[in-house]
Every structure is written in structure tokens, then in C-alpha cells.
Amino acid sequence: MALVRKTLIIGLLLLSTMACHAQFDNGQSPFTVSSVSPETRSIVTEQKGSAIVDGERITYWLYSVYTKDFDDVMKGYRAGQELMMVGFSWAEALGYTIDYANMEISSPNESLASSVKMLMTSRNAMVSITIWHSWLYINTVDTEMVYGTIAAPLYR
């Protein structure tokens, strides 16, 4: 299972290199605006949660990938790729243009707020997605508790 999650995180970070303050109180999930395969939907759970960052309550969409055994490594990897694209598709569906040229990748991200780490840990989430102050943030964590973040500036 550790290999599955480690492979997934590496895949997410590799995929990201190819590829105004907003909150989501309208309840629109990233999954609702993205075409996620039935295979991925069958192994991914989605939850909504909040964390306090710099004194502000931020809403996050949290994702856990559950695979049965080692034979499902590629299934989990593909799910991870789709989850990454979910964040980008969701931001675009909300009317943002993503500035891919100025995307920032931090891995490991040692400055990720402890409240976000605790939220992800408490929900057993390996991916969290949010939009905060016109930036899309996609956070990942591997089985060794190493956090990575992809941050992309957004424009309306």
C-alpha cells in the first residue's frame, strides 16, 4: 500500500509539470464539474472540510484513494492523475483562467499550515484541493507524511 500511495504522489507531481478569494459554500464539488471515470469513482472518496490558515476559515475538498491490493497500483495511479485534473477542471468551471506558466510546486512543502495537515490526516485524505485568494492549491501527502503542494495563480 505504501508503494501505491508513493507512486500516486509522484505521478501527481509529474503530471502537474505537464499540465480574488473564493470559497465554495455553494457546495459545488470538484467531482460535479469534472468527468471522472467510473473506475476512479469506485476507489475514491470525497469529503468537504475546513481548516484555519492565516486566521481565515478555508474550505477544502479532500480525497482518499482506496485500492484492494498491489495489483491495483496502476488503477490507483490513474485515479491520482484524474484527481489532479479535477482541481484544474473545477477552477476553470468556476470561471477562472489558470496561469500554468507561473505554477509553483513545493515538494516537500514544509510550510504547509499544520491545520491543513491535521485536516488531511484526520480524514485519511491523500489529496486536498482549495481556491484561496485567487490561487488553486492542490496538496498531496504520501505514506511517509511528506506533503507536496501545487499552487497555480488564477484570473477571472
Condensed to tens digits (0 to 9), the pLDDT of residues 10-35 reads 444 433 333 333 344 445 677 665 66
pLDDT digits (tens, 9 = 90+) for 89-118: 889 988 999 999 999 999 999 999 999 999
**Phi and psi (nearest 5°) for 131?**
-120, 125
How is residue 102 written as a grid cell? 507561473
What global pTM score does this model have? 0.78
Three-state secondary structure string covering 96-137: CEECHHHCEEECCCCCCCHHHHHHHHHCCCCEEEEEECCEEE
116 within 8 A of 53, measured Cβ to Cβ: yes
